[in-house]
Chains A and B, each alone.
Chain A
Amino acid sequence: MLYLFYLLAAISIVSAVVVVASRSPITSVIALVVCFLSIAGHYILLNAQFLAMVHVIVYTGAILILMLFVIMLLNMNTLVEQRKPLAARLMAVVTGGMLFLVLLAATRQGLGQAPETYDAGIGLVRTIGTVLFRDYLVPFEVSSVLFLAAMAGAMMLAKKEGTDNLNLPPSSEPDERAA
């Protein structure tokens, strides 16, 4: 069990590093898929079954496929990304490392005592569904409005400006049905 956790953690960390370090966007997306699948494995180990399923469906099934689709649509593999100067890259790595150390130091104490008993049924679909629809019904409904706004915003942003490309070009020939 503990070794399974270490294996999944190693996969997560290595694939996350590949996401950041890879030169090709396709490789980054594939590495991110591997990272998210290993995180779904962590959820299953923690017995969060509902979240594991939703995670696989939403992230690897929808979001990353959307990213892959955008890469292929925009032909981004032919773009050569300019690298930042060496000082900026060094400072980025140092910033990440310092953040990691600060977070570790901040939570070194005060985790509290481990409880004697754990409720293994917390992450089941039945429990999450009951809590979601009993205590969090209004946020759940509001999130549908958020999705509607995101959908409308994405369509408005990605629409081609100037010409209305939904209109067919005006034909010079008279309509045959009218004749």
Chain B
Amino acid sequence: MENVITAIRVVPLEHYFFLSFLLFSIGVAGALLRRNILIVIMCLELMLNSVNLLLVALSAFRSDAGAQVLVFFIMLVAAAEVTVGLAILVQMKRNTNDVDINLLNRLKW
């Protein structure tokens, strides 16, 4: 398994930066653009994944396994976060019969 081809030898690291930043920006724009809470949660997942991708690319670039352990922990935290977020979503749909993010503006100002 040691001689499996790795993209880090061929693909420049700047391309991974470009891809990761583009995915992160799409996630930020989507979180600002949409009003459905579920879409906002999905955009958060997209942002977390873009950061994960960049961490893995940098880990391969520097030959450091610590970054991949960090990615593992980010996945754990993302799973916990989605569980709580979806529970809030279910409760909100049950109480207001809507999933509009503008209904949750009690803490806005």
Interface footprint category on B? 35 or more
Hey, which chain A residues are within 8 Å of B83, CB to CB? 66, 150-151, 153-154
Give the residues in chain A near B46, CB-CB below 8 Å.
Answer: 16, 19, 32, 35
Near A by CB (< 8 A), chain B positions 24-68 give 24-30, 32-36, 38-39, 41-43, 45-46, 49, 52-53, 56-57, 59-66, 68
Name the prevailing secondary structure of the A interface residues: helix
Q: How far is the CB of A65 from chain B (nearest CB, A)?
A: 11
From B19, which residue of chain A is reached at the shortest CB distance? A9
Cα A12 to Cα B29 in complex, Å, equals 16
- Chain B interface secondary structure, helix, strand, loop or mixed? helix
- Verify A128–B68 contact, CB threshold 8 A: yes
Whether A45 pairs with B6 at a CB distance below 8 angstroms is yes
Complex CA distance for A56 and B83, rounded to whole angstroms: 17
Q: Would you call B76 an interface residue if the criterion is a C-beta within 8 Å of the partner chain's C-beta atoms?
A: yes
Tally of chain A residues near chain B (CB < 8 A) = 88
Chain A residues with a Cβ under 8 A of chain B: 1-2, 4-5, 9, 12-13, 16-17, 19-20, 25, 28-29, 32, 35-36, 39, 42-43, 45-51, 54-55, 58-59, 62-63, 66-67, 70-71, 73-74, 76, 79, 81-84, 88-89, 91-93, 95-97, 99-100, 103-104, 107, 111, 114-115, 117-124, 127-128, 131-132, 135-136, 139, 143, 146-147, 149-151, 153-155, 157-158, 160
Instruction: Enumerate 6 A-B pairs (CB-CB under 8 Å) in ascending A order.
Output: A9-B15, A35-B46, A70-B38, A79-B36, A83-B35, A103-B17
